[in-house]
């Protein structure tokens, strides 16, 4: 099973973040009230990744709150666009590739163009998936 890391921006609706998320990527610093709401929703949260600039702009109160909850802050900056396929389709493509199916066969079974399948298999380490307005990170 693939673990997910969710991306949170200033526009993210916290109710839409999966409660079982163990890792969050902060794209932009969010205010303390939203962080409190996020911590309340994601009880298993153990790590937050963010860019250097986001870490600098993160309020001291938020950093203290993370430290009290034993949530580690790590600098991580992933570039590249997110993949705009649903998670079930991506899982199916990965499984078919593990079964050594050709790109054309995977295209026939899933209906996803072979160039997209090739991109997914070759660059799977990028691990960003767009789910509506949310971006999910594969671990």
Range of the domain at 41: 4-75
Which pLDDT score is estimated for 5? 76
- For position 12, what pLDDT does the model report? 86
For residues 17 and 52, state if they share a domain.
Answer: yes
Q: Strand pairing partners for 34?
A: none
Q: Kindly state whether residue 70 falls inside one of the protein's structural domains.
A: yes
Whether residue 95 is found in the same domain as residue 68: no
**Both structure tokens of 124:** 């799977």
**Residue 40 shares a structural domain with residue 61:** yes
* Statement to judge: residues 24 and 47 lie in one domain: yes
pLDDT tens readout for residues 107-125: 999 998 898 888 887 765 5
**Measured in Å, how far apart are the chain's first and last C-alpha atoms?**
10
Tell me how crowded residue 54 is: count the other CB atoms within 10 A of its CB: 19
Tell whether 106 and 61 lie within a shared domain. no
Neighbours of 122 (CB within 10 A): 9
The reported pLDDT for the residue numbered 20 is 83
Domain check: are 8 and 68 in the same one? yes
How confident is the model over 42-92, as pLDDT tens digits? 888 889 988 888 899 988 888 888 899 899 999 886 665 556 677 778 778
Q: Residues 70, 93: one domain?
A: no
- Both 29 and 70 in a single domain? yes
Angle between helices 32-41 and 60-68 (to 10 degrees): 20
Give the model's pLDDT for residue 82.
Answer: 58
Is residue 52 in a domain? yes
114, 57: one domain: no
Q: Please tell me whether residues 97 and 70 are part of one structural domain.
A: no
Residues 68 and 93 occupy one common structural domain: no
- Residue 11 falls inside a structural domain: yes
Specify whether 31 is located in the same domain as 61.
yes
Range 5-33 average pLDDT? 86
pTM of structure: 0.58
pLDDT at site 138: 61
If one counts the domains in the chain, the total is 2
- Over the stretch 78-92, which tens digit does the pLDDT of each residue have? 665 556 677 778 778
Taking each helix axis from N to C end, the angle separating 114-122 and 103-110, rounded to the nearest 10 degrees, works out to: 120
CB-count exposure of residue 114 (10 Å: 0-12, 13-18, 19+): middle
Beta strands (DSSP E) in the chain are 4-8, 23-26, 47-50, 72-75, 128-131, 134-138
Say if 133 falls within a structural domain. Answer: no
């Amino acid at each position: 099973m693939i673990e997910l890391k969710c991306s949170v921006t200033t526009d993210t609706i916290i109710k839409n973040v999966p409660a079982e998320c163990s890792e969050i990527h902060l794209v932009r610093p969010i205010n303390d009230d939203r962080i409190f709401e996020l911590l309340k929703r994601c009880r298993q949260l153990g790590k937050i990744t963010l860019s250097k600039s986001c870490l600098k702009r993160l309020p001291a109160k938020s950093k203290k709150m993370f430290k009290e909850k034993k949530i580690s802050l790590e600098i991580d900056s992933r570039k590249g666009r997110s993949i705009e396929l649903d998670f079930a389709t991506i899982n199916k493509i990965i499984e078919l590739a593990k079964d050594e199916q050709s790109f054309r066969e995977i295209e026939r079974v899933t209906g996803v163009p072979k160039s997209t399948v090739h991109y997914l298999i070759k660059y799977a380490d990028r691990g960003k998936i767009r789910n509506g307005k949310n971006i999910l990170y594969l671990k």
